[in-house]
Amino acid sequence: MSINQEYYDEDFIAYKEDVDLCWRINKNAYHFIYVPDAIAYHGRALGKINDGTLIGTIRKRRSQSPYLRELSLSNQRSMVIKNLDVQTLISNFIPIYLRWNLEFLFSIIFEPLVYIRSWKRTLISSKKMIEKRKNIKRKRSIGIAR
């Protein structure tokens, strides 16, 4: 599950590193179990989650720095480059397609510069993410062969 002895991807400066790790854990045939009595604390410097409305989402995003919004979008894509396999893409095509299109529309309308900068960051890191993807796949095939 680690990549170059990293569990949390150090290329993810902020955002999505926990989801990325969970994705890799799940792909390695480990499963998560819900324990209702467990208590976990997650420090979030950005405050309360929005109320679930479009206006709430816009207000929440605007309260965050453009840099952090850029990292969030870029890391989401980097995580997909590293972890999404063809089978999962095909079986979940409609929700993935809808999510990507909603992200595009929202970003172009409300934060076009953040969206453009996040794509630049994604393109710069894509080669490294593809290498990590190969490393993950190689480690999985070695584990399966044992």
Q: Is residue 38 part of a domain?
A: no
Decide if 47 is inside a domain.
no
Specify if 62 maps to a domain. Answer: yes
Query: Of all helices (H) and strands (E), which one includes residue 43?
Result: none
2 pLDDT higher than 90: no
Q: What percent of the chain has pLDDT over 90?
A: 45
Mean pLDDT of 58-71: 87
Q: Which residues contact 78 (CB under 8 A, 6 or more apart)?
A: 9, 11, 12, 16, 122, 125, 126, 129
Q: Which of 138, 124, 145, 136 is nearest to 7 (CA)?
A: 136
Q: Would you say residue 1 lies in a domain? A: no
User: Who has greater pLDDT, 40 or 125?
Assistant: 125
Number of folded domains in the chain? 1
Domain that holds residue 28: 17-33+53-145
pLDDT at 41: 75
User: Which of the four pLDDT bands, split at 50, 70 and 90, describes residue 14?
Assistant: confident
Q: Does 83 reside within a domain? A: yes
Question: How far, in Å, CA of 47 to CA of 56, rounded?
Answer: 13
pLDDT category of residue 13 using cuts at 50, 70 and 90: confident
Mean pLDDT of 22-38: 86
Residue 114 pLDDT more than 50? Answer: yes
Structure tokens at 40: 């976990």
**pTM of model > 0.85:** no
- Please name which of 60, 138, 70, 135 lies closest in space to residue 107, comparing C-alpha atoms: 70
Q: What is the pLDDT of residue 51?
A: 73
Would 3 be classed as within a structural domain? no
Q: Are 81 and 133 in contact (CB under 8 A)?
A: yes
Q: Which residues pair with 3 in a beta bridge?
A: 6
Provide CB contacts within 8 A for 83, sequence distance 6+. 20, 23, 24, 27, 133, 136
Residue 146 in this model has a pLDDT that exceeds 50: no
What is the tens place of the pLDDT at every residue in 96-112? 999 999 999 999 999 99
Is 132 a member of any domain?
Answer: yes
Cβ 87 vs Cβ 132: under 8 Å: no
- Residue 40 inside a domain? The answer is no
Higher per-residue pLDDT: 77 or 14: 77
